């Protein structure tokens, strides 16, 4: 499964959801906490397809200046390093599952089918404490067994 197929899968299982965007370091740490111990490369909804090294979320929101590139540090070879052949971001596997730096992101080909893990996200309407209708952003972890083809 590639990144776009993963995004389509999120739309189906999360009823209009998308691959989780990168918002800030707090939200990123929350994403990391949702991943199971055996997580493989995990798709997120961030790419630099339109312009190399200008990372945006799949919904088009800019992530310039919000710390995303700090999630690509501590590598022997600087990331992102794929130039125009690697335009989608993944979170590296958990410890013991990879030689890559755990919980860091890297660029990967959007059509790469090396991963079946993904973090899905959607906005939902909820009532807050004051009973006003508000929009709350909700993160959903795709059913890893289903996403990995184990039904």
Name the residue ranges covered by the structural domains of the chain: 3-147
What pLDDT does residue 98 have?
Answer: 62
38-75 pLDDT tens trace:
888 899 999 999 988 888 999 888 887 777 776 776 66
Which pair of structure tokens corresponds to residue 35?
């991943």
What pLDDT does residue 11 have?
Answer: 93
What pLDDT does residue 45 have?
Answer: 93
Task: Considering only CA atoms, give the Rg of the chain.
Answer: 15
100-123 pLDDT tens trace:
777 888 888 999 886 678 999 888
Q: Which residue carries 């009973």 as its tokens?
A: 131
Which pTM does this prediction carry?
A: 0.74
Q: Write the CATH number of the domain with boundaries 3-147.
A: 3.10.100.10
Give the CA-trace dihedral at 20, 122, 114, 108, to 10 degrees.
-30
Instruction: Specify burial of residue 99 (Cβ count, 10 A radius: 0-12, 13-18, 19+).
Output: exposed
Distance CA 33, CA 23 (A): 15
Q: State yes or no: pLDDT of 132 exceeds 60.
A: no
Distance CA 17, CA 43 (A): 14
Q: Rounded mean pLDDT of 125-141?
A: 54
Name the helix (H) or strand (E) containing 144: helix 144-147
């Amino acid at each position: 499964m590639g990144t776009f197929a993963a995004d389509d899968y999120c739309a189906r299982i999360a009823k209009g959801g998308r691959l989780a965007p990168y918002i800030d370091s707090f939200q990123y740490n929350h994403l990391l906490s949702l991943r199971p111990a055996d997580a493989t490369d995990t798709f997120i909804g961030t790419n630099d397809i339109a312009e190399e090294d200008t990372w945006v979320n799949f919904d088009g929101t800019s992530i310039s200046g919000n710390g995303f590139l700090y999630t690509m540090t501590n590598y022997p070879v600087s990331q992102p390093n794929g130039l125009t052949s690697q335009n989608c971001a993944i979170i590296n596997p958990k410890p013991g599952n990879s030689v890559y730096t755990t919980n860091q992101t890297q660029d990967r080909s959007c059509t790469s089918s090396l991963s079946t893990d993904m973090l899905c996200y959607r906005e939902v309407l909820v009532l807050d404490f004051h009973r006003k209708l508000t929009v709350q952003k909700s993160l959903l972890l795709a059913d890893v067994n289903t996403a990995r083809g184990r039904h």
